[in-house]
Amino acid sequence: MDLPSFDIERMHSGIVAGIDEAGRGPWAGPVVAAAVILDPDNIPEGLADSKTLTEKRREKIAPLIRERAMVGVGVASVEEIDKINILQATFLAMARAEAALATRPHVCIVDGSQKPKLRAKTQMVVKGDAKSLSIAAASIIAKTARDQMMRDLAVQHPFYEWEKNKGYGAPAHRRGLESHGVTPHHRKSFAPIHNILYPEAAR
């Protein structure tokens, strides 16, 4: 398996930030984006697409990224997801992540093919978290930040096992919906939740 490199970053002059998101697919919880500006002389070892790493490994690497790099995190709420749709909410979280950086980047390299509206010049990179170290770092920060948010919400709403499934449509989450219904943290615009709230519309 090819590991991400710093090659894409080196193609650009000036300060380059990698941006990625976590949480587009779950039925509950916010969508979170991260922007990371790496120090090319002090890159943490083990950076890779967050999806290829275990939760334990992500939790170990994330503090190293925060310690050695500039990090910005942006969040779009469930209310915003339901109001403007998940894609636009993802773009909003990415813009907030860019704005949260202490230093303004000249270029943002962003995972995916659909371009958010950012202040900096933007380059899209399909499967960027597997190609760019900056995007890989952002994927780890976004994922670990969102996972912690879902663990915190699970304390308030223990019946859905969000500490394990992070809001995705796992069997335990489905059982929680059947027994305890929809919470304010569920995405009402997503079909599985919408159909519970408005069963007559689902017929």
39 known member of a binding site: no
200 known member of a binding site: no
Exposure string of 61-70, with b = 16+ CB inside 10 Å and e = fewer, is bbebbbebbb
Contacts of 84 (CB under 8 A, 6+ apart): 92
55 known member of a binding site: no
Rounded Cα distance between 85 and 136, Å, is 25
DSSP 138-193: HHHHHHHHHHHHHHHHHHH-GGG-HHHHTTS--HHHHHHHHHH---TTB-TTSHHH
Annotated binding site for a divalent metal cation: 20-21, 111
Annotated binding site: 20-21, 111
